[in-house]
Structure 1
């Protein structure tokens, strides 16, 4: 399956912003970019199995600014699984590197696009066991 390079950039950009927000004394404009990337109907299922809505996620993120100094998030294996109308299903690996520890998770996401902008509608994360 081939993946549109723009889609790969969209996935990477959100994760760079998340790493900057969580890992530095970032300016509020970084939070604004994250918030602006999430659809109004956004939901997420995190690795603990908890379902979170847009308001809950953004509230938690706002208070987590610079709580993991030096955090890096690498995105790889971006694959477009399906596209229908304005919906895109994508899967990728997100790897957090913090304090010498590495945590990987598979992420499946649905994005909504008008062909110009991309908004994250839902995300489901699954932890990757350590090998």
Structure 2
């Protein structure tokens, strides 16, 4: 049993907000929820191996508002890999779909347990080849 039973919902909610922001003329509160979920020292490794810091990621997300109408992001295969004190490591599949095209990423993330929920500290994404 997971020590953090609502964590899968937290992961799905962040991706829902990201998709809403990128696919519509969403209000600023959607971006704020996304930004406020990232730890001050957040970084991500993209599917092409580039390390991106929090400020760079948020600038890109901000400029991507309503840039991909119809985008949906589904989170599946969620696993809590480890937890120790206030640190939790999870893995899941994030699938973007838009206009009939689907791309999948296997994601490993480290989150900190905070007073108000969770803060994302690090994400590492690996592209998953399309099924043939």
Normalized against structure 1, the TM-score is what? 0.96
- Point out 4+ residue stretches in structure 1 off by more than 4 angstroms: none
CA contact (8 A) 1:3 1:79 kept: no
Query: What are the ranges of 5 or more consecutive residues in structure 1 without an aligned counterpart?
Result: none
Partner of residue 86, structure 1: 86
Partner of residue 103, structure 1: 103
2:6 is paired with a residue whose SS is: helix
Matches for 1:120-131 after TM superposition, within 5 Å: 120-131=120-131
Superposition CA RMSD, Å: 1.3
2:16 is paired with a residue whose SS is: helix
1:5 is paired with a residue whose SS is: coil
Query: What are the ranges of 5 or more consecutive residues in structure 2 without an aligned counterpart?
Result: none
Is residue 61 of structure 2 the alignment partner of residue 73 of structure 1? no
Instruction: State the distance in 2 between where 1:114 and 1:72 align.
Output: 28
CA contact (8 A) 1:108 1:124 kept: yes
CA contact (8 A) 1:87 1:111 kept: yes
Equivalenced residue count is 131
Instruction: State the distance in 2 between where 1:12 and 1:64 align.
Output: 19
Normalized against structure 2, the TM-score is what? 0.95
Q: How much does 1:116 deviate?
A: 4.4
Partner of residue 13, structure 1: 13
Instruction: State the distance in 1 between where 2:129 and 2:85 align.
Output: 35
CA contact (8 A) 1:3 1:78 kept: no
